[in-house]
Amino acid sequence: MDDDRAMRVLLRRLLEADGHRVETAVDAGDALKMFAPLRFSLVISDVVMPGMTGIELRAELALQDPGLPCLLVSGDDVERGLHYAASTYRTVFLAKPFEPEELLRLVHSTPLPKHGLEGRAAS
């Protein structure tokens, strides 16, 4: 999830080229609507978003699926993102800007749950 269209397109292309199925959302409301009918192996979200932040979205999704891994990214609120990820189960943080290889390394090193839709990621 990212409100920046260019970032959504970049993440989609990068993850699909790496063999993942990807759904994108502009904001937390769209992400939450998608999350109910679909099962995801990983959520990637910007921290700073209009309305519900990526951190608030992570907390909401954890109520529905406590084991769901989440990768938070931000260039604006790095300290908050690092602190939150360090204190939250199955959450990691990546500061923007980042190299594509950094993102893929984190995706590959994250133990993904088995939900029947292997390789699905939400960004």
Phi, psi angles (nearest 5°) of residue 91: -125, 130
For residue 105, the enclosing domain spans 1-7+39-109+113-117
Does residue 21 belong to any structural domain of this protein?
no
Does residue 24 belong to any structural domain of this protein?
no
> For the chain, what is the domain count?
1
pLDDT, tens only, 11-53: 999 999 999 999 999 999 999 998 875 688 899 999 888 889 8
Phi, psi angles (nearest 5°) of residue 11: -65, -45
In this prediction the pTM is 0.83
Residue closest to 107 by CA, chosen among 116, 88, 33, 98? 98
